[in-house]
Each structure stands twice: as structure tokens, then as C-alpha cells.
Chain A
Amino acid sequence: EAGVVQSPRYKIIEKKQPVAFWCNPISGHNTLYWYLQNLGQGPELLIRYENEEAVDDSQLPKDRFSAERLKGVDSTLKIQPAELGDSAVYLCASSLGSFGSVDTQYFGPGTRLTVL
């Protein structure tokens, strides 16, 4: 079974440019997460989707970050415009999303963003 797929794996852009990351979750997983991981730190949740609905986006900096999950499968995370401080690894994860239960989250390889 294929794991969580993310692309691109690496991205280098200049500040003020836009950038987008794509995630394809494990087949059948209804819940999708985007995490931010700064160097030397653990991941921090940016947004969580249950199917198409963003149910927890309290940590997403909405002035420059946006996300969507059309049709409840793939998801895109966008930054516009990017700032130097956005340099980090952006991780996507998915879980079954079983009602009333706590599901384990499975992570993709991440996208390493460098903003120059």
C-alpha cells in the first residue's frame, strides 16, 4: 500500500514569491493534516481536514497561508508571499478518520522549503 505522497521534495524560492505544496494521502484516509517542522524542532500542526472540511486551522497564519482539499482527497498548501522565516519542512499526514476513535497519523516525506 502506498504511503502519503508529497511533492515537490525540495523547493527554493526568493522571498515574496508564491509557493505551493501538494499532498496525496493514503487511500481511504479521510483525515489530512499539514504540519510545519522548523529545524531542530518537532512538527507543529497547521491545519486538519476531515474530508473536505477544515476543522482545525487555528494555527494557520491566514494572512499568507492557505490550503484546500478539493473532493476530500488531495490537498494543496500555499504560501503567498513567502518570507525568509517560512524556510522549513512542510509535512503532510493522514489518518483513517474513524468516527469516535483516535487514529494513528502517517506522515509523508515532507517538502523542504528554502526562502532566499
Chain B
Amino acid sequence: AQKVTQAQTEISVVEKEDVTLDCVYETRDTTYYLFWYKQPPSGELVFLIRRNSFDEQNEISGRYSWNFQKSTSSFNFTITASQVVDSAVYFCALMQETSGSRLTFGEGTQLTVNP
């Protein structure tokens, strides 16, 4: 069985603060893929990043960074110097090698960045 848990339902920060969104996953597969998507109020899910289970290198893209730790089954997402435009729901998702192309999403974290 595969499962994704995003324990933080809502986070509210003030602009320029750093914020970390947590993601914990469960899978029995040794090969799997992890994703983060952003869903702004317009409703469209925007792809942010993808990681496979054999690549534990952390990644940085501008103000975004991701910390993948297999030992704790976590794939956390940090936004540095948050901006109002970062306000959205963020979803972590898991795809197991044995599940075809089925994505299992967490329940999402609503991030609100206040000016």
C-alpha cells in the first residue's frame, strides 16, 4: 500500500519568512517517485519537482529547496523568503513503480503568506 501524509493542514506566515512544508510517505517498493505540486486559487495543479528513490541529493531552485531523506521517508519542501504569490495549496505525491502511473496525493497544505 502507498500513502502520503501532510500533517500540516494550514500554515500562515508573514512575507519574507522561511517556511517548510512536511511530507512523509509510505511504500513497500524500492523504486518510487516523489512529486510536489502547487495549486493556486485558479485551481490548476502546477508541477514543481520530481525525485526518484535513488537520488537523495537535495535540490535548490531559486527560493525553493527540497530535502529528501529515505531514512525517515520524508520529502520536505522549503520556501525561503516567502512572498504573497506563494500562497496556495501544496501537494506532495508518490508514484510506486508497481502502481503504473498512479499518483497518490497527500491531503495538501494550505500556505498563506501575509504581507
A41 touches B108 (CB 8 A): yes
Which A residues from 24 to 49 make CB contacts under 8 A with B?
31, 33, 40-45, 48
B101 touches A105 (CB 8 A): yes
B50 touches A104 (CB 8 A): yes
Known: A41-B108, A42-B91. A102 touches B44 (CB 8 A): no
Closest approach, in angstroms, between the C-beta of A53 and any C-beta of chain B? 13
Closest approach, in angstroms, between the C-beta of A105 and any C-beta of chain B? 6
Q: Residue B95 contacts which of A44, A102, A107, A108 (CB distance < 8 angstroms)?
A: A102
Give CA–CA (A95, B67) in the complex, Å. 25
The stretch that binds A, out of B12-20, B35-43, B55-63, B68-76, is B35-43
Chain B interface, number of residues (Cβ within 8 angstroms): 24
Encoded as 1 (CB less than 8 Å from any A CB) or 0, chain B from 93 to 104 comes to: 101010011110
A48 touches B44 (CB 8 A): no
A42 touches B105 (CB 8 A): yes
Query: Residue on A with the closest CB to B46?
Result: A107
Closest approach, in angstroms, between the C-beta of A55 and any C-beta of chain B? 7
Known: A102-B101, A107-B37. A41 touches B45 (CB 8 A): no
B-side residues, CB < 8 A to A, are 4, 33, 35, 37, 42-47, 50, 52, 91, 93, 95, 97, 100-103, 105-108
A-B contact pairs, 27 of them (CB 8 A): A31-B101, A40-B107, A40-B108, A41-B107, A41-B108, A42-B4, A42-B108, A43-B45, A43-B91, A43-B105, A44-B105, A45-B102, A48-B101, A56-B101, A89-B43, A95-B101, A102-B95, A102-B101, A104-B35, A104-B47, A104-B50, A105-B103, A106-B47, A107-B45, A107-B46, A109-B44, A110-B44
